[in-house]
Amino acid sequence: MNNSGVTVSDTFFKRYRELVRTEMLPYQWKVLNDEADITIERERDDASIPNEKSHAMENFRIAAGLSSGEHYGWVFQDSDVYKWLEAAAYSLKDHPDEALKKAADQVVELIGAAQEPDGYIGTYFTIMEPARRFKRLGESHELYCAGHLMEACVAYHAISPESKALSIARKLADCIDQSFGPEEGKIHGADGHEEIEIGLMRLYHTTGEERYLRLAEYFLEIRGQDPQFFARQYREDGGKPLIGGLESFSAAYLQAHRPVRQQDTAEGHAVRVVYLCTALADLAATKKDEGLRKTCETLWRNITERRMYITGGIGSTVRGEAFTADYDLPTDTMYCETCASIGLIFFARQMLRSGARGEYADIMERALYNTALSGMALDGKHFFYVNPLEAVPEKSRKDPGKSHVKCVRPEWLGCACCPPNLARLLSSVGDYIYTVSEQTILVNLFIQSELTCKTEQGGEVSVSLQTDYPKTGRILCTVSNQGKIPVRFGLRIPSWHDGIQGIVDGSAQEILNEDGFWYISLTPGEHRIEYTLELLPKRWYANAKVSDCVRRVSIARGPQIYCLEEADNGKDLHCLSVIQNAPLKYERREELLGGIGMIRTPGLRLLNRDEEAALYTDDPGALLTKTQELCFIPYYAWANRGENEMRVWVQEAPPS
């Protein structure tokens, strides 16, 4: 069976998709054209971060010879434009919009005009240093940008086949194919930042051109075969660094310390790791390569069972935006970049293609409803790069080691990778809801939508999923199987569930759990499945090896992790404790933060007996506790009420 289209009608995500169309895309368009009157913040205290303007579109105009001047911004600034274009394509598919289409067409034209005669595109190198093309791949991001261009062009081609988008992407892929590969005279290496592999796989899926598949495979397999590749290129190039400081990172930082099939832990820069894994999992599913699938599984386990935050955030340190060690999950200095969780969602989606395991979708959902959504303010115009597990404004302002932990989302960032990444994810969320294979439909996410599939025998299967999840856990699926044979319909059984009921065509069923899915065989005809998940607010605890979470508890309901915010609970959130076994009361607050669920529980506040208490004392009675009701809100909604403290992991007090 083939997935021939998903329409999202979900209330929760419809708001986000509307926000992409009405706010994010127009706003980002202005920013990329330097027409927005905004403050661009550096993502951390580092004077070398370019933050005067975006200049991303102007870079293209200069490269195309339509304007004059120098390149400005990061060497990967082009990718902001590509991600915007990709998001615009998804949004246009969903909702025609003349002004947006005109702007997107203009972008495609401009990219085409900036393409060099041999197919190369990269505004930094075209404008500033053509002779250094492909000479410093550890830093240059040339193929990273190319991968984003391919993704954007494939997406744009789908809604505008008459545009030049696909031919631009193919011409660039052909140029790269002529420069890289095992043959004598070509470069035997890959880019320091994975992404070309994802782009080439998508180009292959769209065009069927085997060369693109081979090239993606080449880039994946060459990685780490020669761990000295990047260092040698730096030496031979000898010029000034393209990204200061990057040359001092080890090969492991770039996942090049050993061949990928031998990698068994997530090392280095978190976004790179999950982009690598996304392409590996795509290749494994496409070629039915069991060995590669096992590699992906090993990396998946390492990330999700040892190195992931409860919010689906990844990356434990600001130094290199990277993974560190198993169970090293500090809650106040972590990185948890928005893009890294988006990449984890991409990885999960590809894993579901070769293995129907509910846990992939569980993590996809965790990352989506928590860290990804937290990456943006409710207005669609302010963005977090780093998504902390706890934050105290004064510490972020004054501790250089916490300058990356912002307490208010900036209007834009010097490195603007996250905002357009979020735009493309939210506008394509329909692509994550179902996994369709030969005779099976998996429901990964409970997002109200309609799916149509074409069967091999020329029939059609359509699914209508109605729900207001995660407000409630009531899901109604109506399936019309107009094919000739039964369809295996798999509904995810979330690992966190607190009770499930299933009724098929009026009769209650026993829910059998097969690797995290409940399968129902749906014969040709019409079917109605009522699936109800109990969503109870509850406590979660971390493994004892996670030092920052010892004797702390996190509150969640369904897929949503909750947090305490100063706005509801006062300052010094570290002084608050949840009482073990105290009831957690859930209530809807439609008037608050765009409509949220709030969880209330009786708690305690630790305080000094004397206002002028000493810093240290040997008086055991110097500290008191008083009762205080605690109010938790969903994590994604924090920092929408001005600058204030926030905390996910809260102290736990024994039952009173």
Tell me which residues touch Zn ion (CB under 5 A): 337, 339, 417-418
Residue 335 CA to chain centroid, in angstroms?
A: 13
Answer whether 464's CB lies under 8 Å from 478's CB.
Answer: yes
d(CA 443, CA 477): 10
The interface partner of residue 164, options being Zn ion, ligand FUB, none and the CB cut-off 5 to 8 Å by kind, is none
Residue from 41, 217, 247, 321 carrying the catalytic annotation = 321
Q: Does the footprint of ligand FUB cover residue 339 (CB under 6 A)?
A: yes
Answer whether 642's CB lies under 8 Å from 568's CB.
Answer: no
Token pair listed for 629: 């009701």
Q: Does the footprint of ligand FUB cover residue 564 (CB under 6 A)?
A: no
417 a catalytic residue? yes
d(CA 124, CA 366): 37
List strand residue ranges (DSSP E) for 559-618, in order. Answer: 560-565, 576-579, 585-589, 596-608
CB of 298 to ligand FUB, least distance (A): 23
Closer CB to Zn ion, residue 299 or residue 416?
Answer: 416
Size of the site for ligand FUB (CB under 6 A): 8
Closer CB to ligand FUB, residue 44 or residue 353?
Answer: 44
Prior bond of 470 cis (ω within 30°):
yes
Answer whether 549's CB lies under 8 Å from 622's CB.
Answer: no
Q: By CB under 6 A, what part of segment 453-512 binds ligand FUB?
A: none
Closer CB to ligand FUB, residue 384 or residue 434?
Answer: 384
Please choose, from the candidates 529, 515, 594, 428, the residue with its C-alpha nearest in 3D space to the C-alpha of residue 86: 428
The packing angle between helices 142-159 and 165-179, to 10°, is 150
Residues 367, 297, 448, 23, Cα dihedral to 10°: 40
CB of 409 to Zn ion, least distance (A): 13
CB of 418 to ligand FUB, least distance (A): 8
321 a catalytic residue? yes
The interface partner of residue 40, options being ligand FUB, Zn ion, none and the CB cut-off 5 to 8 Å by kind, is none
Buried b (16+ CB within 10 A) or exposed e, 149-178: bbbbbbbbbebbeebbbbebbbbbbbbbbe
The interface partner of residue 193, options being ligand FUB, Zn ion, none and the CB cut-off 5 to 8 Å by kind, is ligand FUB
CB of 525 to Zn ion, least distance (A): 47
Residue from 175, 339, 417, 631 carrying the catalytic annotation = 417
Token pair listed for 37: 């009157």
d(CA 58, CA 45): 26
Q: Which residue in the set 373, 417, 443, 491 belongs to the binding site for ligand FUB (CB under 6 A)? A: 417
Q: Which residue in the set 27, 72, 76, 84 belongs to the binding site for ligand FUB (CB under 6 A)? A: 76
Q: What does 235-289 look like in DSSP terms, one character per residue?
A: HHH-S--SSTTGGGS-GGGGT-SS-GGG--S--SBHHHHHHHHHHHHHHHHHHT-
CB of 595 to ligand FUB, least distance (A): 32
Go through the chain and tell me how many residues it has: 656
Q: By CB under 6 A, what part of segment 160-219 binds ligand FUB?
A: 193
Q: Does the footprint of ligand FUB cover residue 266 (CB under 6 A)?
A: no
Q: Does the footprint of ligand FUB cover residue 415 (CB under 6 A)?
A: yes
CB of 196 to ligand FUB, least distance (A): 13
The interface partner of residue 639, options being ligand FUB, Zn ion, none and the CB cut-off 5 to 8 Å by kind, is none
d(CA 309, CA 291): 28
Q: What does 130-143 look like in DSSP terms, one character per residue?
A: GGGTTS-HHHH-HH
Beta bridge partners of 243: none
The interface partner of residue 321, options being ligand FUB, Zn ion, none and the CB cut-off 5 to 8 Å by kind, is ligand FUB
CB of 436 to Zn ion, least distance (A): 30
CB of 637 to ligand FUB, least distance (A): 24
Token pair listed for 620: 């055991």
Closer CB to ligand FUB, residue 191 or residue 282?
Answer: 191
Per-position x/- string for 306-325, each x denoting binding to ligand FUB as judged by CB under 6 A, each - no binding: ---------------x----
Q: Does the footprint of ligand FUB cover residue 653 (CB under 6 A)?
A: no
Per-position x/- string for 270-299, each x denoting binding to ligand FUB as judged by CB under 6 A, each - no binding: -x----------------------------
The interface partner of residue 332, options being Zn ion, ligand FUB, none and the CB cut-off 5 to 8 Å by kind, is none
Please choose, from the candidates 325, 322, 326, the residue with its C-alpha nearest in 3D space to the C-alpha of residue 254: 322
Q: Does the footprint of ligand FUB cover residue 337 (CB under 6 A)?
A: yes
Active site residue ranges: 321, 417
Contact residues toward ligand FUB (CB under 6 A) are 76, 193, 271, 321, 337, 339, 415, 417
